[in-house]
Amino acid sequence: AAPAPAPVDAPAPAPVDAPIVGYWSLFCASMVFGIVVWGGLTRLTESGLSIVEWKPITGVRLPTSDREWDDEFAKYKRFPEYHKVHIGISLDDFKRIYFMEWFHRNIGRLFGVVYLVPAVWFVASGRVTRAGRAKLAGMGGLLLAQGAMGWYMVTSGLDHALAERADAVPRVSQYRLAAHLALAYMLYAGLSLHGWGVLRANRLARSAPAAALRAQLELPQVAAFRRRIAAAALLVAGTCLSGAMVAGLDAGLLYNEFPLMGGDRVLPPWRELWHEYYARGNADAMWRNLTENPALVQLEHRVLAMSTFFVLSALWWQGRRLPLPGPARRALHAMYALAALQVGLGVSTLVNGVPIANASAHQANSVLLLAAALRLFHTLRPLPRIR
């Protein structure tokens, strides 16, 4: 028997995600930006280890009574940071650092609600395509991994062994800090690219075919430039993660001068960069200097930062001479301006001994620089075929 015909009034499958999905995705990206900036402030004020328990639900509530505050303070006193960093801190000062970490965790919780509830509703109401559902699921996975990594990071700074070693400073592992930041950047990039992509697809679906723009974006020189921008965006991200290693080791507190390192020296003495102390008694583990020696980690960040700036400058110079669309040209100029600003903020942070305002602006601008590189890459992508 022949199959029954589909009802005449059955809606056709949507060729693209609904526009609201794009706007929501960009709003979520802006929330991630804010969380990253506040997280940096939490680290800079040495507040991240003030809450020594992980309570995803009941931790939403801030202590209110004197007894609750005394209990939280007593818990904190059992861990190494109180005895080595915040020595003899008062209850009022503890409340301040506690609030920094509490607020960081709670805006993370709020982001989880802002992301997960609408995502489920968009899928259930048919406002996203099959490809869109896969992307939302992937970013949801990143969100959950980010929360787990955050607590895993904190536990590294609560290790009681840090109190037993005289040379140990209670702070989170720079490896876990970098992983925590990497997941945040991945989530920010995914949300931004998805949001821009959804809105672009909807504009194409509503308007006449953009043959001229399509041809422009498919020019060989433009396609080659797009690949270079993608590589540059990865370089920016790598430099950002190098900055996380610097922050995790407090390496910015060394060599507060630029471009020299150590008075009249271009580089510090070799023994300061490559020392057996970081091999922990294992001659085959000298490579640990690359990620655990603050002097070498700072040097690596300097080299990466300046290399990134020169690469972005060269791409800006090259892009000015290419037949780029208007949005791509604006993103190109923004990327170059933010790169120059980032270098200025980095040098200012270093030579002034890492003041909180400068360091926070440096981190915030790193996210904006990555956003500009991603935006440029997005505007150069070939137009999708909308059915």
Tokens of 207: 């308007």
DSSP assignments along 45-57, one per residue: TT-TTS-----TT
No. of helices (H) and no. of strands (E), the chain: 14, 0
pLDDT exceeds 50 at position 349 = yes
User: The tokens 């690469």 sit on which residue?
Assistant: 311
Count of positions (residues) in the chain: 387
Rounded CA gap, 82 and 157, in Å?
A: 11
Q: Shortest CA distance to 261 belongs to which of 323, 303, 292?
A: 303
The confidence score (pLDDT) of residue 164 equals: 78
DSSP assignments along 117-176, one per residue: HHHHHHHHTT-S-HHHHHHHHHHHHHHHHHHHHHHHHHHHHS-THHHH-TT------HHH
Rounded CA gap, 104 and 108, in Å?
A: 6
Report the Cα–Cα distance between both ends of the chain, in Å, rounded. Answer: 31
- Dump pLDDT digits (tens) for 84-114: 999 989 999 999 999 999 999 999 999 999 9
Residue type present at position 226: R
Query: CA quadruple 24, 27, 33, 34: dihedral positive or negative?
Result: negative
pLDDT exceeds 60 at position 283 = yes
The confidence score (pLDDT) of residue 387 equals: 60
Maximum separation of any 2 CA atoms in the chain, in Å: 90
User: Would you say 112 and 143 are in contact if contact means Cβ atoms under 8 Å apart?
Assistant: yes
> Alpha-carbon Rg of the chain, whole angstroms?
24
Rounded CA gap, 121 and 124, in Å?
A: 5
What is residue 89's three-state secondary structure?
coil
Compute the mean pLDDT over every residue in the chain, rounded to the nearest whole number.
91
User: Would you say 190 and 135 are in contact if contact means Cβ atoms under 8 Å apart?
Assistant: yes
What is residue 218's three-state secondary structure?
coil
Nearby residues of 326 by Cβ (< 8 Å), 6 or more positions away: none
- Dump pLDDT digits (tens) for 177-192: 999 999 999 999 999 9
The confidence score (pLDDT) of residue 297 equals: 96
The confidence score (pLDDT) of residue 12 equals: 45
Rounded CA gap, 313 and 151, in Å?
A: 38
CA 161 to chain centre: 30
Residue 25 binned pLDDT confidence (cut-offs 50, 70, 90): very high
Q: Shortest CA distance to 23 belongs to which of 178, 263, 203?
A: 203
State the average pLDDT over residues 58-83.
Answer: 93
The confidence score (pLDDT) of residue 209 equals: 59
State the average pLDDT over residues 359-387.
Answer: 92
| Extended strands (E) in 139-271 | none
Tokens of 351: 């030579």
